[in-house]
Amino acid sequence: MNEDGENMSMIAYSNDLRERVVRMKGEGISSLSIGKVLNISVRTVDRYWSRLSRTGTITPGKMGGYKVSLLEAHKATLKLWIRERPEITIDEIAQRCRKDLNIKIGRVAVWKMLDKMGLSFKKNSARQRARQRGRAFKA
CA-wise closest residue to 78 among 90, 63, 66: 90
User: Looking at the 3D structure of the chain, how many domains does it have?
Assistant: 2
Amino acid 63: pLDDT: 72
Between 49-53, 91-95, 129-133, the lowest mean confidence (pLDDT) is in 129-133
Is residue 61 very low, low, confident or very high in pLDDT (cuts 50, 70, 90)? confident
Residue 135 pLDDT = 56
Q: Are residues 22 and 1 in the same domain?
A: yes
- Examine the fold and report which residue of 43, 64, 85 is the final residue of a domain before the chain moves on: 64
Residue 136: its H or E element: strand 135-137
| pLDDT at residue 138, rounded to an integer | 53
**The pTM of the whole model exceeds 0.75:** no
The answer on 92 and 52 residing in a single domain is no
In percent, the amount of the chain with pLDDT more than 90 equals: 60
Residue where one domain finishes, among candidates 35, 64, 93: 64
Q: 127 falls in which pLDDT band (50, 70, 90)?
A: very low
CATH number at residue 24: 1.10.10.10
Q: What is the mean pLDDT of residues 117-136?
A: 59
Name the β-bridge partners of 137.
119
Angle, helices 31-38 vs 15-26, to 10°: value is 150
The predicted model gives 9-35 an average pLDDT of 90
User: What's the mean per-residue pLDDT of the chain?
Assistant: 83
Residue range of the domain that includes 37: 1-64
Share of the chain above pLDDT 70, in %: 78
Q: Are residues 78 and 51 in the same domain?
A: no
Phi and psi for 120 in degrees, rounded to 5?
-135, 160
CA distance 122 to 20: 56
